[in-house]
């Protein structure tokens, strides 16, 4: 019957080799865990960066929308002013023409007839 016995030196070497091998396994596992942790941390930072970018983009969109509303309101006010001014000037021009026609009805009729004739001649020459 043969028994496997180790000499103390062999047992020490075997235990030392096993410990080294175990230490390498532990080191490898630790390195893998650290790499995974670094990956996770990077993903978290990227997600936070993405969330921050999305928040900034949303805020910029709200600011742009508000600026557009203000600009549109300013344009409405200016358009209203121009419209009122044009209406007023058109009313003044109409009153002026009516007054001149009342002062000199024959002259106004002859002027209108002359302008109509002139426009008719100009338009008839265009069609040829």
In percent, the amount of the chain with pLDDT more than 90 equals 38
| 51-68 pLDDT tens trace | 888 888 888 888 889 989
- CA dihedral (84, 87, 93, 99) in degrees, to 10, reads -110
- Residue holding tokens 């600026």? 67
Whether pTM > 0.85 for this model: the answer is: no
Q: Cα dist. 127→120, 121, 123, 124 in Å?
A: 11, 10, 7, 6
User: Which residue has better confidence, 29 or 81?
Assistant: 81
Q: How many residues does the chain have?
A: 128
pLDDT, residue 1, reads: 46
DSSP assignment, residue 2? Answer: -
The pLDDT, as a whole number, for residue 2 is 47
Predicted confidence band of residue 46 (pLDDT cuts 50, 70, 90)? confident
């Amino acid at each position: 019957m043969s028994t496997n016995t180790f000499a103390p030196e062999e047992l020490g070497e075997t235990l030392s080799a096993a410990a080294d091998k175990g230490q390498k396994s532990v080191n490898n596992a630790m390195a893998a865990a650290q790499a995974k942790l670094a990956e996770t941390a990077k993903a978290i930072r990227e997600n936070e960066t993405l969330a921050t970018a999305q928040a900034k983009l949303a805020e910029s969109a709200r600011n742009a929308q508000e600026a557009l509303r203000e600009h549109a309101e300013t344009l409405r006010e200016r358009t209203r002013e121009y419209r009122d001014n044009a209406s007023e000037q058109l009313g003044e021009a109409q009153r002026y023409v009516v007054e001149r026609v009342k002062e000199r009805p024959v002259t106004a009729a002859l002027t209108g007839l002359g302008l109509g004739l002139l426009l008719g001649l100009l338009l008839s020459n265009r069609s040829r």
